[in-house]
Structure 1
Amino acid sequence: MSKPLIISRQYKHSPEKIYDAFASAEALGAWWGPAGMGLNVLAHDFTPGGKFHYTMEMGEQISYGIMEFISMKRPTEIQWLNSFADGKGNKIKPPFAAEFPLEIHNTVNLEANKEGTLLTIKGVPYNATEEEIAFFEGMFEGMNQGFSGTFDQLESYLSKL
């Protein structure tokens, strides 16, 4: 059993506004991914069984990612499997580490409160080996930094609406 990566961020925006930032290709393409990386949306179908296929670009480095949406309950929850991918949308191991799990099951919960919304993301390896789980857990610090930049970009996107 894997220890989950759990990250929370308080936003002054409504759960509906944050949920909608995941629901359209234009919105998700404007803020998803590590800070400083360009993102190009290749496909976006925000339905159970639908996919968000994208490229992330930093200088000459290009990588692909894919989200396979499992379920969504507007405006409180979104679940998906996240993976690195190739240009055709096939799941692959990331180029930086063969020990990284092929799939991560992510759940975003959006909880309304008097300040706005508490966004909490929980990620756990899916169908992973013990070695992959251990590697994933060893990357929590770096993943916290990466999601911090992503969630800063979400705040900036929401504030411009």
Structure 2
Amino acid sequence: MTFVSSSKDTHNLTFTLVTEFDAAKERVWDVWEDPRKLERWWGPPGWPATFGRHEFHPGGLCHYWMTGPDGEKAYGWWRFLAISPHDRLEIEDGFANEDGSPLDPEDSATFTVTFEEAGAGTRMTTVSAFRSLEQLERMAEMGMEEGMKEASGQIDAILAEAQAVR
């Protein structure tokens, strides 16, 4: 992965992460569509994810948890708002209870992931949009930027394996 940029925009209540991968859009897309691949990179190193539910279609729900080194679990949920294969995902997400239900339905955010050709590879841009400045700042304080960079940094290994199999 090549890290391109990250930025926090307090005026528009967004956080943006831009990365590039040495792989075609279809292969980068697959690390979102295939829940077993998604599990291998969604959590930052040391906090692997498990997707108990992964309904990859508009309106589909996901329930996942990340498990820390000491066994602590952090639960989350997603709802796919829009899916344009190999080009764009729009997802509502939030913290969840152990059963996958939203911890606080009013505390959700959305993120949009776009995939563009970049030379021989793919540029993946993730824009997280928040409901309030307080929510954006809270997520920043929780280490969202570093966590997203570290998590995205795990995608290259998955792409390399997929290439070796071909």
* TM-score (normalizing by structure 2): 0.82
- Is 1:105 the counterpart of 2:98? The answer is no
**1:98 is matched with which residue?**
none
Deviation at 1:46, TM superposition (A): 0.2
CA 1:141 to 1:120, structure 2 compared with 1: closer, same or farther past 3 Å?
A: farther
TM-score if structure 1 supplies the norm length?
A: 0.84
Q: Equivalent residue of 1:92, what SS?
A: coil
Q: Which runs of 5+ in 2 are unaligned?
A: 1-10
Judged with a 3 Å threshold, the aligned counterparts in structure 2 of structure 1 residues 114 and 129 are, in CA distance, closer, same or farther, namely: closer
How many angstroms does 1:130 deviate by? 4.9
Query: What amino acid is aligned across from residue 31 of structure 1 in structure 2?
Result: W
Preserved CA contact (<8 Å) 2:20 2:118: no
Is residue 4 of structure 1 aligned with residue 14 of structure 2? yes
CA 1:112/1:140 → structure 2, altered by over 3 Å: closer, same or farther? farther
- Tell me the equivalent position of 2:55: 45
Partner in structure 1 of residue 92 of structure 2: 81
Amino acid at match of 1:145: E
Runs of 4+ in 1 over 4 A off after TM superposition: none
Letter in 2 for 1:147: M
Structure 1, unpaired ranges of 5+: 94-100
1:109–1:120 CA contact under 8 A, matched in 2: yes
Aligned partner letter, 2:153: D
Deviation at 1:133, TM superposition (A): 4.3
Residue from 50, 58, 67 that aligns with 1:57: 67
Q: CA RMSD in A?
A: 1.9
Alignment of 1:11-160 (within 5 A): 11-58=21-68, 59-92=70-103, 102-125=107-130, 128-136=131-139, 139=140, 142-160=143-161
2:153 aligns to what SS in structure 1?
Answer: helix
1:81 counterpart SS class:
strand
Q: Deviations over 1:3-51 (max 9, x none)?
A: 3100100101111111111112212112211221122221111000111
Aligned 8 A contact 1:2 1:133 in 2: no
